[in-house]
Structure 1
Amino acid sequence: MEVRFALPNLMLQALPVLEALVQQGFEAFFVGGCVRDTAMGLPIKDVDIATSARPEQVMSIFPRCIPTGLQHGTVTVLHDGESYEVTTFRTESEYEKHRRPLQVEFIDRLDGDLLRRDLTINAMAMNAAGELYDPFRGLDDLKKRMIRCVGDADARFQEDALRMLRTVRFASQFEFAIAHSTWRAVIKHRELLRHIAMERVQAELDRMIGGAHPGRALHLLAACKLLDYTGTVLPAAHKLAQGYTLYSGLDKLADPDTRYAALLMAEGITIPDAEETLKALRLPTQKMNAILSVLSIQTAMKQWNGKSDLRLVWTSLILQYGEEASRRWLSIAAWDRKHNLHDQTELLDKWLNGMPAMTLKQLKLNGKQLAEGLQRVPGTWTGQLLKQLLLEVALDKLPNEKELLLKQAQIWNAEDR
């Protein structure tokens, strides 16, 4: 039975590329995620094209293109201000270290190209008329809400072990079940994940944590224990994968960094273990520091016993770790009903929003003015005194006005002498 879909705008824009290949006597189809998402009625993000034309033939047809990966048959065609990856139908030989094919062979048939793909829902193709070509019944699996490997699941995961993480990601992303044969193969071959570069692991984990259903992803990761088999040991892997029991509403938190921090704030994960885990995942330094700053605030706030001045503790932490980290921590504490300061978050938020200054740049007195006003040679004392003034301003005990700041500095300076 013929199944036809209306092509979304991004595919319609790419249609001239597809039609140019067909007009030259080659087969050409839309493939991959754009076909899957079109069949699901979801917006598509990019367009991939597969063709029987060899890379050199593709380059001869289109005047503007980039030889992106000729050894793998991929040419990036530039058309009307957009770029499209056009890849020759291919099969892949034995895989090296369960990740990369040792050899790529160009072929003339679409079936063979689709057979090398990971999941049935990603192994569909669509022609220029929107007609679906679906040899592995991916559309049926979409209707059943099922994630299933193309062909033999054991073979697919042995070829490329990253596919196990992709299986979990797609199952969580779409809230699909995983076919028994595919799940059994994940458990059987999970040790192969050690062959995958940690950057690849991190990229998949980022998509899961940052996706619409991170709790489901964590549930599946905990069940199959995939993160226990990464090439570099993740000290916080056990807690990270079991965070769904503590943070089932993780999707309510705004961004991936806040979600990572919430998971790592789970009982039993120390800052050294968290740092080692984030380093092992090859997170960019800026991202890692952003997460660790939230954990540092958590460590300090967790120690508050109701006796010390909460506003002083909170304000000092904001000045030390910055507004962004403080707001992330606050959103986690407000969301986690079991948090020791959950009931104080409205007050903490009020103090944060009411702070007249949070950085030395916002202070109406700089180091040069301070040194001149006190008739002293600038030194380490300058920064220390400015920080002391900033704390007073942030606590709303001192107006952020140059003359008044300088007057207070003069009083402290006289007391120290």
Structure 2
Amino acid sequence: MQLAFSNLIISALPIVRRLREHHFEAFFVGGAVRDTVLGLPIKDVDIATSATPEQVLALFDHCIPTGLQHGTITVVEKNMAYEVTTFRQESAYEGHRKPESVLYITELEGDLLRRDFTMNAMALAENGELHDPYGGLRDLELKQLRSVGDPNARFQEDALRMLRAVRFIGVYRLRPSHRTWRALKRHRQLLRFIAMERVLTELDKMMESESPQRALHFAVVSGLLAYLKEPLSEEAQRVLHQAGRDIPAMKKTFENIHELKQTHTRWAAVAIGLKLSQPALQQALQVLRFSNARMKSISSIADVHHEMFDFRTDVSLNAQKRKWLSMVIHYGRETAYEWLSVMRLMPEAALRLSDEQLSDLERWSDQMIISKLKQLSVNGKELAGYLAKEAGPWISEYLTRLLLLVACGELINEKSILLKQAALWEVNSHEL
């Protein structure tokens, strides 16, 4: 079988040709080959060769010894970087993650044998010919994920491959072969050897894909998340276990999550859909090594949800409006609109407000004249001067109250009017 090359592979052809001109074997390998077979865009190009790292360094002018101990050299060609790795076999793995040592070999088939799944164990020659000794093409045609060789050995070598399996199942809409899935569940406790940062990288790739709900489904039913190096809270583990026991409900809850554009919004939707408490969510985000900025974004959306649902009682429309606009002011317009987008995709009535309520909230948000303190026509210094009062916490309180009144349309955003309102509060406070 011969395949057409994408522009990214064409740009790397000079490297392959130079290696072959010097009597070395050289092939495109890895994800670039898999995605070429599937007709998908490729992100980067990896090359495998019979040349040793020293021989690669001698052949090319611009090289970076990025992984010299494992046989990898980064070759820079026309401002593009390509990883060139020597054919190799790997020894026993250290800590179920990295090989203790590598042995350079001269045969392509032996190099492909060390890879995780058959769809990643294909190689593409300079002339477009596909080398597929382990049946990766047929597995892709069958929409099947299958380990190269013995899946028990592959997962024991590198436990991260289990999370990669779940990601590939979701991203490429595959189903695992029986032997591969059975081995994954048998060895899932080995995930405790994997750094949490690596776990988050894989989970993020799942959530960024076109079908995050499928990857989420397999992540839950595999039970992998119960075996992290740093465990999730008892509540989070219980919630995940319950979700895994009620697959139809979980599928229904997250069936539209792919329509959310931002990854952090998808994560917030997962937290809301699983009905995680705020403490359990915070613990999960910390354990998984989310950055502070991402933690704040996700938690804020979930906080809006909890506050609005706690408030969802038989109150007047005006009270609902004031509560909502106070949320918009506190968390910001962007967070408020992100929560609304999550709500519109939640199918379960117990997890969302009615369409009419959501429309009211969106309309009130759109009608807000201002939503930030800096947009007020008065500042703290002017307020303190007008009231002849020393600065203190009261300034923030008064400014926030003024902002809410203006946002609700109950007060005009003019300095004189705002100062008079503050003076009225001051008089009333003294009378009390």
Q: Which 10-residue stretch deviates more, 232-241 or 99-108?
A: 232-241
CA distance in 1, matches of 2:208, 2:240: 14
The structure 2 residue matched to 1:363, chosen from 376, 380, 383, is 376
Alignment partner of 1:280 out of 274, 287, 296: 287
Deviations 1:301-346 (A, max 9, x none): 1122022511111111111222222112111212224134132111
Question: What residue in structure 2 maps to residue 45 of structure 1?
Answer: 43
User: Which residue of 1 is the match for residue 120 of structure 2?
Assistant: 122
Deviations 1:233-258 (CA, angstroms, capped at 9, x unpaired):
11224535734352222212222211
Distance change in 2, residues 1:212/1:240 (3 Å): farther
Q: Are the equivalent residues in 1 in contact too, given 2:256–2:346 (CA < 8 A)?
A: no
Structure 2 residue aligned with 1:316, among 316, 320, 326? 326
- Equivalent residue for 1:85? 83
Partner of residue 343, structure 2: 333
What code does the residue aligned with 2:322 have? L
Match of 1:380 in 2: 393
Q: Which amino acid aligns with 1:155?
A: A
Paired with 1:404 and 1:67, the residues of 2 have a C-alpha distance of 68
1:342 aligns with 2:354: yes
Q: C-alpha separation between the residues in 2 aligned to 1:121 and 1:283?
A: 30
Distance (Å, rounded) in 2 between the aligned partners of 1:346 and 1:301:
14
Matched, 1:415 2:415: no
User: 1:364 touches 1:402 (CA, 8 Å); kept in 2?
Assistant: yes
The alpha-carbon distance between structure 1 residues 401 and 82, as it changes in their structure 2 partners (threshold 3 A), is farther
- Whether 1:95 aligns to 2:123 is no
Residue 219 of structure 1, CA deviation: 2.0
* Correspondence 1:392 to 2:405: yes
Give the superposition deviation at 1:408. Answer: 2.6
Q: Aligned partners of 2:367 and 2:13: how far apart in 1?
A: 55
Aligned to 2:52: 54
Code of the aligned partner of 2:40: L
Q: Is the 8 A contact 2:113 2:121 kept in 1?
A: yes
Choose from 393, 396, 401 the match for 2:414: 401
Match of 2:247 in 1: none
**More displaced, 267-276 or 102-111?**
267-276
Rounded to whole Å, the distance in 2 between the matches of 1:21 and 1:360 is 64
User: Matches of 2:24 and 2:414 in 1, distance apart?
Assistant: 74
Among 266, 269, 293, the alignment partner of 1:262 is 269
Report the Cα distance in structure 1 between the residues aligned to 2:74 and 2:367, rounded to whole angstroms.
52
2:189 corresponds to: 191
Counterpart position of 1:153: 151
**What is the DSSP-based 3-state SS (H/G/I as helix, E as strand, rest coil) of the residue aligned with 1:265?**
helix
In the comparison of the two structures, how many residue pairs are matched?
Answer: 415
Q: Could you tell me how far apart the structure 2 residues matched to 1:342 and 1:103 are?
A: 60
Q: Aligned-pair distance for 1:266?
A: 3.2
**Aligned-residue RMSD, C-alpha:** 1.7
- Which secondary structure state, in structure 2, belongs to the residue aligned with residue 67 of structure 1? strand
Q: Which residue does the alignment assign to 2:30? A: 32
Alpha-carbon offset, residue 267 of structure 1: 5.4
1:30/1:48 contact within 8 Å kept = yes
How big is the shift at 1:24?
A: 2.1
Offset, 1:416: 3.3
Moved more, 44-53 or 114-123: 44-53
Partners of 2:51 and 2:333 lie apart in 1 by 54
Query: For structure 1, which runs of at least 5 residues remain unmatched after alignment?
Result: none
User: Where do 1:172-183 residues align within 5 Å?
Assistant: 172-183=170-181
* 1:285 to 1:240, Cα distance in 2 relative to 1, 3 A: farther
Paired position in structure 2 for 1:306: 314
Distance 1:152 1:409, change over 3 A: same
Q: 2:239 matched to 1:239?
A: yes
Q: For 1:267 and 1:12, how far apart are their aligned partners in 2?
A: 46
Counterpart Cα distance in 2 of 1:327 and 1:237: 30
Q: Shift of residue 173 of structure 1?
A: 0.8
3-state DSSP of counterpart to 2:187: helix
Tell me which moved more, 220-229 or 363-372: 363-372
Cα distance, 1:401 vs structure 2: 3.0
Q: How many Å separate the matches in 1 of 2:102 and 2:84? A: 16
Q: Distance in 2 between matches of 1:52 and 1:401?
A: 76
Change in 2 beyond 3 A, CA 1:399/1:22: farther
Is the aligned partner of 1:294 residue 2:301?
yes
Residues 192-228 of structure 1 deviation map (CA, whole Å, 9 limit, x = unaligned): 1111111111111111122111221122223221111
Q: What amino acid is the match of 2:384? A: A
Aligned to 1:398, what secondary structure does the other structure show? coil
Kept in 2, the 8 Å contact 1:240–1:264? The answer is: no
- 2:266 & 2:65 partners in 1: Cα distance? 39
Identity %: 47
User: Aligned residue for 1:200?
Assistant: 198
- How far apart, in 1, do the equivalents of 2:374 and 2:76 lie? 46
Q: Give yes or no for contact 1:218–1:244 (8 Å, CA) kept in 2.
A: no
| CA-CA distance at 1:268 after TM superposition | 4.7
Rounded to whole Å, the distance in 2 between the matches of 1:255 and 1:237 is 25
2:176 matched to 1:163?
no
Mapped partners of 2:414, 2:96: distance in 1: 64
Output the amino acid matched with 1:180.
H
